[in-house]
Chains A and B, each alone.
Chain A
Amino acid sequence: QKEVEQDPGPLSVPEGAIVSLNCTYSNSAFQYFMWYRQYSRKGPELLMYTYSSGNKEDGRFTAQVDKSSKYISLFIRDSQPSDSATYLCAMPSGGSYIPTFGRGTSLIVHP
């Protein structure tokens, strides 16, 4: 079973929509949950991270973790065309904190 699973999409939504991006994971040792955004021809950049179950909000972005289901989500409110990118979930494990990435979900927000 793969450690981190993510639907590659693409997910296409109209501007202003609420977007839900999801990942599942199999390793119960994961304690930190991160979301990266990757624009075309760029490296990933850290968007948000959270340690525990529940919600964390940062502007239009909300990260949600359900450890009992091994399921994490990223919600984007009032989506903008500038949000069009690939969103990668990642979970570091062990003492080295090297992240294990999901495949990424491609998001397209059209005007």
Chain B
Amino acid sequence: EPEVTQTPSHQVTQMGQEVILRCVPISNHLYFYWYRQILGQKVEFLVSFYNNEISEKSEIFDDQFSVERPDGSNFTLKIRSTKLEDSAMYFCASSDGMRAPQETQYFGPGTRLLVL
């Protein structure tokens, strides 16, 4: 069964450093998403991406964040200058449409980011 994959599974970085989290969505999907989950808290939407541009973003997704689809398979989230409060699990998701809930978002296993 096709699945969303994410790398790395864990990342430790120093405050102020840049990190890039990588995702390979399901191959025929057109819509891509990033979410985060701070330990013990809710899964929170960050950004959605379609047709090579951001279609929606939350208040969390400020200028420190950017997303890119550098080639036909990868979808990346970059945090330019990490802060302690960026420590969280980051989930990538993809779907073949936006008519939720029928067009289900499939989530990857997540990247656990720890900022020291």
Chain A positions within 8 Å of B, measured between CB atoms, are 4, 8, 32, 34, 41-46, 49, 88, 92, 96-104
Which chain B residues lie closer than 8 Å to A45 at the CB level? 106-107
Distance between Cα atoms of A23 and B42 in the complex (Å): 13
Distance between Cα atoms of A42 and B56 in the complex (Å): 25
Question: Which of chain A's residues has its CB closest to B99's CB?
Answer: A97
Pick the contact of A96: B40, B48, B106 (CB < 8 A).
Answer: B48
1/0 contact string of B74-116 vs chain A (CB within 8 Å): 0000000000000000010100001111001111111000000
B56 touches A43 (CB 8 A): no
Question: Which of chain A's residues has its CB closest to B112's CB?
Answer: A41
Output the least CB separation between B89 and chain A (Å). Answer: 9
B56 touches A32 (CB 8 A): no
Q: Is B45 an interface residue (CB 8 A)?
A: yes
Output the least CB separation between B10 and chain A (Å). Answer: 10
Chain B interface, DSSP helix/strand/loop, else mixed: loop
B107 touches A44 (CB 8 A): yes
A97 touches B101 (CB 8 A): yes
Which chain B residues lie closer than 8 Å to A92 at the CB level? 100-101
17 A-B residue pairs with CB within 8 Å: A8-B40, A32-B100, A34-B100, A34-B101, A41-B109, A42-B107, A42-B110, A43-B110, A44-B91, A45-B107, A96-B48, A96-B55, A97-B98, A99-B45, A101-B44, A103-B40, A104-B43
A102 touches B107 (CB 8 A): no
Q: Is B20 an interface residue (CB 8 A)?
A: no
Q: Is B30 an interface residue (CB 8 A)?
A: no
B101 touches A98 (CB 8 A): no
Distance between Cα atoms of A99 and B105 in the complex (Å): 10
Distance between Cα atoms of A97 and B107 in the complex (Å): 15
Distance between Cα atoms of A98 and B61 in the complex (Å): 15
